[in-house]
Amino acid sequence: QVQLVESGGDSVQAGGSLRLSCAASGYTWSSTCIAWFRQAPGKEREGVAAITSDTGITYYADSAKGRFTISQENVKNTVFLQMNGLKPEDTALYFCAAGGFRCGSRNRFLEGNFGHWGQGTQVTVSS
């Protein structure tokens, strides 16, 4: 059974940094797209960054480009989201999600493609 466990969320001031972790287990796909999504109160969930496990190719939402970096540590099956220059509008519950496919420019943030989700970790950025 695929399990995803997020950690690293915290409360920080604007301009600060956080590193989120997503520990993944139980999957057997040769290619896995793991993505970070976030959902702010009263807003729809949105994709932030994605990475394919076997290629290492990454994708970012416009809001994340230049500030966030997604990476992976294959030995530990962990995906990270390094977030720098945090803004109050980054405040949200951050989820990681996994699916048995390669992330692509068109499918990377299609929620229906991801069959497995974590419980989320809260990020709060104060001004």
CA dihedral 36, 39, 45, 46 (to 10 degrees): -50
Calculate the average pLDDT of the chain. 94
In the predicted model, is pLDDT for residue 125 greater than 90? yes
Full DSSP string of 31-43 = S-EEEEEEE-TTS
State the pLDDT at residue 28: 77
- Compute the C-alpha angle 5/35/111, nearest 5°: 105
State the pLDDT at residue 105: 83
Looking at residue 35, its amino acid is: A
In the predicted model, is pLDDT for residue 121 greater than 90? yes
Higher pLDDT, 89 or 77: 89
Both tokens of 39, joined, read 């959902």
State the pLDDT at residue 107: 86
In the predicted model, is pLDDT for residue 75 greater than 80? no
Q: Please check whether residue 46 is in contact with residue 109, taking contact to mean a CB–CB distance below 8 angstroms.
A: yes
Both tokens of 93, joined, read 């519950």
DSSP β-bridge partners for residue 58:
51
Task: Convert the pLDDT of each residue in 57-72 to its tens digit.
Answer: 999 999 999 999 999 9
